[in-house]
Homo-oligomer: A and B are copies of this chain.
C-alpha cells in the first residue's frame, strides 16, 4: 500500500468533533483535489483512503461517495473511485452554469449585505492580494483557493442555502478545471475583478455588479486552453 498521497494534511489529528468523520475526510480530499495535490485521474482506493485517515473502508467509501455526488470524483462500478478529469465540454458547462447563477447571487447580496459583511469581504480581498504577490506553488494554490472562497462568501451572504450548495459544487469544479486547463498560474491575471465587484456591491449598483460578474467569469474562462491534449496525440503519433 502506497502512502505517498499528500492528502491527509488538513486533517485534525484526532477528531475534534466526534461527529461525522466521513464529512471531514471528504473535506480533506476535496481540498486536496481543488488544490491540485491530487491529479485528475488519480485512483482513490477505499483501503488506501481508509488507512490514511485511520478509518475503516466503510466510512472511506462514504466520503468517496459524497465526492462523487459533487462531481469531483468518478466512481466506476467494480473499478473504484478516480479524481475526475473533466472534459473541455464539462468545463464549459461549469461556467455556463455559473453565468446563470452568480448574477442572481450578486443581486441578492446587494439586497442583504451588511457593513460587517463588507468588512469581511475587504479583509478577504487583502489576503487575496497578499497571496498574489507571494511566489511559489503554495502561494499559487492559496490564491486559487482564496479566489474561490470569495465567490463562496458571496453565496453565503445571498442567503439561499440551495444556491449556496450549487455554488459549492461549481466553485470546486471550477478550481479543478482551472488546474487542468488554466494557462497562467492564477485565474485573474492582471485583473482586479473582485475589488471592482465589491465596489459595485457597496454602491448597491445591481446592473453594474451583474455585468462585472459576467465579465469576471469571461476572464476566468478566457484564461483556459481547452484544446484537447491527450487522446489526439495518439492519432498524431500514428497517422500524421
Cross-chain contact of A97 among B62, B94, B163 (Cβ < 8 A): B163
Copies of the polypeptide in the assembly: 2
User: At the interface, yes or no: A182 with Cβ under 8 Å from chain B?
Assistant: no
Query: Is A100 within 8 A of B101, CB to CB?
Result: yes
| Chain B contacts for A101, CB-based, 8 A | 100-101
A53-72 contacts to B (CB < 8 Å): 62, 65-66, 69, 71
Query: Is B62 within 8 A of A162, CB to CB?
Result: no
* A96 to B90 Cα, complex, angstroms: 25
| Chain B contacts for A20, CB-based, 8 A | 77
* A167 to B20 Cα, complex, angstroms: 28
The listed residue with most B CB atoms (<10 A of its CB), out of A66, A160, A169, A170, is: A160
Query: Is A19 within 8 A of B77, CB to CB?
Result: yes
The listed residue with most B CB atoms (<10 A of its CB), out of A66, A94, A97, A170, is: A97
Chain A interface main SS type: helix
A111-127 contacts to B (CB < 8 Å): none
A167 shortest CB reach to chain B, Å: 11
Flag A157-179 by CB within 8 Å of B: 1 or 0 each: 00011110010011001000000
* A170 to B160 Cα, complex, angstroms: 13
A164 shortest CB reach to chain B, Å: 9
Cross-chain contact of A162 among B19, B65, B94, B163 (Cβ < 8 A): B94
State whether A93 and B160 are in contact (beta carbons under 8 Å apart), knowing that A20-B77, A77-B19, A104-B99 are contacts in the complex. yes
- Knowing that A66-B69, A97-B163, A100-B101 are A-B contacts, what are 17 other residue pairs whose CB atoms are under 8 Å apart, sorted by A's residue number? A19-B77, A20-B77, A62-B65, A71-B162, A90-B161, A93-B160, A93-B161, A93-B162, A96-B104, A96-B160, A96-B163, A97-B166, A100-B100, A100-B103, A100-B104, A162-B170, A162-B173
